[in-house]
C-alpha cells in the first residue's frame, strides 16, 4: 500500500506543476487588469473550476480516423482499430501509461516515468523519439508529426516538417499547453500567449488574446480564453468554428478534422461542425462528462463514472469495440494511480 501511495504521489506532482503554471498565469492576468488586487470571482468562478477539471480530465482517451485509444484504471493502454493499427501494435513492453494521443496513423504515449513512446506509421519520423528527449509531461500527435513538452516546459517537435509544423520558434520559451493539427502546431506560453507554426492556409494562426488551453484540428484551431470563452478560427466551411452563442464558459475542448467538441462547466458536452457520420450527435442520455476526444469522423467522451462513450463513424469499430470492455474502464483521477495535458 505504501508503495502504491508513493507511486501516486510521485506522478501527482507532475500535474501539480502544470496546475501551478496555470495558477500563476491566472493571477498575473488578474493583477494586471486591476492594478492592485484580483478581480472578484476569479478564484471561485474561474480558477477552482479550471483546476478541478484539469486534475481529472487528463489525456487518457484519444481518437483519430479509425482508432480510439483509452487508458484503463491500471494504466493499460487499449488501442482499437480493426483496419491497420490495432492494439496488437502496442509495444509488448509498454507497461502502464499516464497519457495517450492519437495522430492520423500513429499513437503517442507517456509512461509513468515520463518516457515518451510512439508507435504506428513512421513514414515521416513521427515515431522517432529523440534519444536525448528525457521525461515529458504532455504529448500531442498531429497528422504526421509529434509534439512533446519536457518537464521544464521546453517544446520538442519531430516528424513531418513540410509546412514547418516542427520548427519550434527559438524564442518560444516554456509552454503550458500544446496541440498538433494536421499540418500545424499551436502552443500556449506561460503568459497565455498563443504561438503557432506550420500551415496557415486557412487562417488557423489567428491570435485570440491570452488563452489557457488550445486544440488543433485539420485546418482549424480552438482555444479557451482566460474567462472560459471558446474561440475557434481557421477553416470553417463545415461550421467547425461556429461556436454556439449560448455555449457559455468551457473547461475542455477537442477538435476533429472538421468538427469541434467542448465541455461546459457543468459537464455538458456540446459538438458542432461536420456531422455526416453523427460525430456531433451527442447522446441525449450522456449526462456530464469529464473528458473528450475528437477523431476524424467520431467523438469519444468519458462520463463521470469512467464509462467511455463513442459516437459517429464506426466503420472500423472505433465506436463499438471499446464498449465491450465494460464500464469504468477509463482512469480519471491521479488518485487512481494511473495519472499523468
Cα distance between residue 71 and residue 98, in whole Å: 7
- pLDDT of 67 reads 74
Residue 173's SS3 state is coil
Residues 141-161: tens digit of each pLDDT: 999 999 999 989 999 999 999
Mean pLDDT of the chain: 78
Cα distance between residue 72 and residue 55, in whole Å: 17
Largest Cα separation within the chain, whole Å, is: 58
Q: Within 10 A of 341 (CB to CB), how many other CB atoms are there? A: 20
Q: Which of 132-136, 160-164, 205-209, 308-312 has the lowest mean pLDDT?
A: 205-209
- β-strand pairing of 298-303 with 230-234: unpaired
- pLDDT of 22 reads 56
- pLDDT of 335 reads 27
Residues 29-62: tens digit of each pLDDT: 555 555 555 555 554 455 444 444 444 434 478 8
pTM value is 0.78
- pLDDT of 326 reads 44
CA atoms within 13 A on the CB side of 16: 8
Interacting residues of 215 by C-beta distance below 8 A, sequence separation 6+: 179, 221, 222, 223, 253, 254, 255, 260, 294
- Which of the two residues, 23 and 250, has the higher pLDDT score? 250
- pLDDT of 259 reads 96
Could you give the C-alpha distances from 276 to 259, 272, 281, 296, in angstroms and in order? 10, 11, 10, 11
Contact call for residues 147 and 185 (beta carbons, < 8 A): yes
- pLDDT of 202 reads 61
Residues 61-97: tens digit of each pLDDT: 888 767 788 888 788 888 766 544 444 478 889 999 9
The mean per-residue pLDDT over the stretch 161-186 comes to 93
Could you give the C-alpha distances from 162 to 120, 229, 244, in angstroms and in order? 20, 32, 34
- pLDDT of 48 reads 47
Helices H, strands E: what count in the chain? 2, 21
Q: Which of 151-160, 188-197, 293-302, 331-340 has the lowest mean pLDDT?
A: 331-340
3-state secondary structure 193-245: CEEEEECCCCCCCCCCCCEEEEEECCCEEEEEECCCCEEEEECCCCCCCCCCC
Long-range contacts of 85-93 (CB under 8 A, 24+ apart): 85/120, 85/121, 89/119, 89/120, 90/119, 91/117, 91/119
- pLDDT above 90 coverage of the chain, percent: 44
pLDDT at 23 over 70: no
Q: For residue 119, what are the β-bridge partners?
A: 107
Buried-exposed string 259-270: b where 16+ CB fall within 10 A, e elsewhere: bbbbbbbebbbb
Amino acid at each position: 500500500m505504501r508503495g502504491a501511495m508513493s507511486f501516486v504521489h510521485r506522478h501527482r506532482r507532475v500535474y501539480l506543476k502544470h496546475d501551478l503554471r496555470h495558477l500563476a498565469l491566472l493571477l498575473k492576468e488578474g493583477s494586471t487588469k486591476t492594478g492592485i488586487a484580483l478581480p472578484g470571482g476569479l478564484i471561485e468562478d474561474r480558477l477552482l473550476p479550471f483546476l478541478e477539471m484539469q486534475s481529472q480530465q487528463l489525456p487518457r482517451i484519444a481518437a483519430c480516423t479509425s482508432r480510439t485509444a483509452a487508458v484503463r484504471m491500471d494504466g493499460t493502454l487499449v488501442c482499437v482499430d480493426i483496419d491497420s493499427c490495432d492494439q496488437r501494435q502496442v509495444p509488448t513492453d509498454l507497461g502502464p501509461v499516464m497519457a495517450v494521443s492519437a495522430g492520423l496513423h500513429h499513437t503517442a504515449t507517456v509512461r509513468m516515468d515520463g518516457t515518451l513512446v510512439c508507435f504506428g506509421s513512421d513514414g515521416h519520423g513521427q515515431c522517432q523519439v529523440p534519444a536525448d528527449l528525457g521525461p515529458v509531461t504532455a504529448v500531442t500527435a498531429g497528422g504526421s508529426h509529434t509534439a512533446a513538452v519536457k518537464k521544464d516546459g521546453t517544446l520538442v517537435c519531430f516528424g513531418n516538417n513540410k509546412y514547418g509544423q516542427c520548427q519550434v520558434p527559438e524564442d518560444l520559451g516554456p509552454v503550458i499547453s500544446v496541440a498538433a493539427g494536421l499540418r500545424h502546431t499551436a502552443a500556449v506560453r506561460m503568459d497565455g500567449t498563443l504561438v503557432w507554426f506550420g500551415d496557415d492556409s486557412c487562417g488557423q494562426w489567428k491570435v485570440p488574446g491570452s488563452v489557457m488551453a488550445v486544440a488543433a484540428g485539420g485546418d482549424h484551431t480552438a482555444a479557451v480564453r482566460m474567462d472560459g470563452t471558446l474561440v475557434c478560427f481557421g477553416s470553417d466551411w463545415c461550421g467547425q468554428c461556429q461556436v454556439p452563442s449560448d455555449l457559455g464558459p468551457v473547461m475542455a475542448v477537442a477538435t476533429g478534422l472538421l468538427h469541434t467538441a467542448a465541455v461546459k462547466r457543468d459537464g455538458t458536452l456540446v459538438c458542432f461542425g461536420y456531422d455526416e457520420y453523427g460525430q456531433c450527435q451527442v447522446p441525449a442520455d450522456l449526462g456530464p462528462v469529464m473528458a473528450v476526444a475528437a477523431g476524424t469522423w467520431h467523438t469519444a467522451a468519458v462520463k463521470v463514472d469512467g464509462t467511455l462513450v463513442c459516437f459517429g463513424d464506426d466503420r472500423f469499430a472505433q465506436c463499438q469495440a471499446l464498449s465491450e470492455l465494460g464500464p469504468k474502464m477509463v482512469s480519471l483521477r491521479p488518485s487512481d494511480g494511473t495519472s499523468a495535458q
